[in-house]
Every structure is written in structure tokens, then in C-alpha cells.
Amino acid sequence: MPRISVINESSVVSDADIALIVPALQAQWNNDLVASWQVEAATFDLLPTGATPPPQTSWLVFLDDTDQANKLAYHDLTNDGSSIAKVFAKSLADHGQSLSVAASHEICEMAIDPKLSTSYQDPSGSWWAAEICDPVEADQYKYSIGGVWVSDFVTPRWFDLPCDSPAFDKQGFVHRSFEILAGGYAQQWDTAKGDWSQVNGFGLSPLKLLVPAAGSRRDRRRRKRSLWFRSQAIREKAPDHSIVIPSPAKAKHGASRNTPARPAAGKP
């Protein structure tokens, strides 16, 4: 069973704030994602300040903003190579965005594609990244779980995959496969460029057109996997309980994650 360590390194949200969100994230995963995507159920644990995340857990880390890259949890994988989702609380607040919707977005996408390695091919032969919240990412599509706003997400049917449900997204706003709603976006593999291109829905917020936050899933998708590096992050018993990582230059080269994406079906 996947276990998610929830780590609060942000100075702008309290553990109490996050404790209100976590049950909704767990309920969304264990009810809605299990029903639509048949993922394994997960447990979420909000760690006390300064606690070391247990091994073999994925991390959901709340940070202030990406300016903390040299100090906090700016890395692509946890110490033992598990996946990590990052939520930039101060950046979100600065732009009037919902913390819980952003956390839900990252968690849903991590649940479906923890290693950011999965894509699906459309009938024309084009590949689409398995980022299930991007096409429906706008405030008007969110929904409430126990009074906490969470993100809409697309079902396998959006990717033209077999699916028990006739719905293309959880909330029923989408009407056909590969439709990108107003305000949403998607990553499509551009064969000519050999790179990902962002396809934008009508009226996409200028925020989403900006360069993605360093370390975000969008950023990692756009970086070649050979440019990821395996974090040496440790949660030191430092006075400020920060997560400290060495600079990339000091990171052991042998720990680099440079395995090319497997050319298996569904993973170009």
C-alpha cells in the first residue's frame, strides 16, 4: 500500500491548516482515484515538525516558494528514490490560488504516474503525458470533499482508454477524449522537436503560461530524465528543521538518475 509522508516546511501554513486538508486528499485518492483509475489505496501521515520521513514513503512537501531551492526540498526523488510532490504555499497565496486544490492536483497526478514516465497515444499517433489534472485545471471545475476543495481530474476515457465509467472527468465537464477545458492545458510530445509542448485551453491563466516552478511536475516533464538528479536530501535535526541537500556539484555522480525512459508501450 502506498504511504505518503506529508511534510510541512512552509512558513505560511500551519500544521493545523494542513491537517484539515490531508483527510480530503486521502479520501479523494482512496475513493475517487481508486474507482476511476484502480490505483492501490494509500495512507497519508502528517509528520511532526522535524521528524524523519519513514523509508519507502512518497512525500508531499509544502514549501513556501521555489526560491528556497538551495535550502529545502528541491529535488526530484526522495532519499530512497520514491516520488515526491511539492506544493508552493507562499507562491499560491501570492497568486490567490487554493492550497488544497494545488495539493490535490499534485497528489492525483503522483498517484497515477509517480515517476512521470507514462504517456498515452491518441488515434493520430500523438503522445500525451499522463497528467490527469492539467486538462481540467481551473477553479470552476474543483469539487468539495468534507468542505475541502480538491481538483477535478480526467478518467482513463480522456486518454481513449477502456473505462467502466462513461465520464471523461470526475466532474463531468469534458465531453470527448483529449478535450482541454477552458483554463486547462496538457503536455503533448512534439515528435519534430523531440520535446514536450504545452497545449493550452481557451483563456488559460497567464500564470500557467509562465515557466513552471522549478521542481514542479511540469518542470520535470520538460526536463530530460537524464537531467534529473537523485537527491541526497536528509531531514537534518537542524534547529530550523529544514530539509538540507548538498549542491548538485557535491552530489555523488553515481547517484544520478540517468536511466533513459523505457521504450515500452505507453512510455515513449
The binding site for Zn ion (CB under 5 A) comprises 109, 131, 133-134
Minimum CB distance to Zn ion smaller for 32 or for 109:
109
Side chain identity at 246, as an amino acid letter? P
Rg (CA), the chain: 18
Minimum CB distance to Zn ion smaller for 86 or for 90:
86
Q: Least Å distance between CB 153 and Zn ion?
A: 9
Own/partner long-range contacts of 230-234 (Cβ < 8 Å, ≥24 apart):
230/75, 230/76, 230/77, 230/81, 230/255, 230/256, 230/257, 231/73, 231/75, 231/76, 231/77, 231/78, 231/79, 232/79, 233/73, 233/75, 233/78, 233/79, 234/79
Q: Least Å distance between CB 58 and Zn ion?
A: 16
Minimum CB distance to Zn ion smaller for 128 or for 245:
128
Minimum CB distance to Zn ion smaller for 221 or for 235:
221
Q: Least Å distance between CB 32 and Zn ion?
A: 16
Beta strands, E only, the chain: 3-8, 43-46, 58-63, 84-88, 119-121, 127-129, 143-145, 148-150, 185-190, 195-200, 234-235, 243-244
Q: How many Å apart are CA 157 and CA 167, to the nearest integer?
A: 7
Q: Least Å distance between CB 222 and Zn ion?
A: 12
Contact status, residue 163 vs residue 169, Cβ threshold 8 Å: no
CB atoms within 10 A of CB 19: 12
Q: Least Å distance between CB 218 and Zn ion?
A: 6
Minimum CB distance to Zn ion smaller for 37 or for 235:
37
Strands 84-88 and 58-63: parallel
Q: Least Å distance between CB 189 and Zn ion?
A: 16
Minimum CB distance to Zn ion smaller for 116 or for 133:
133
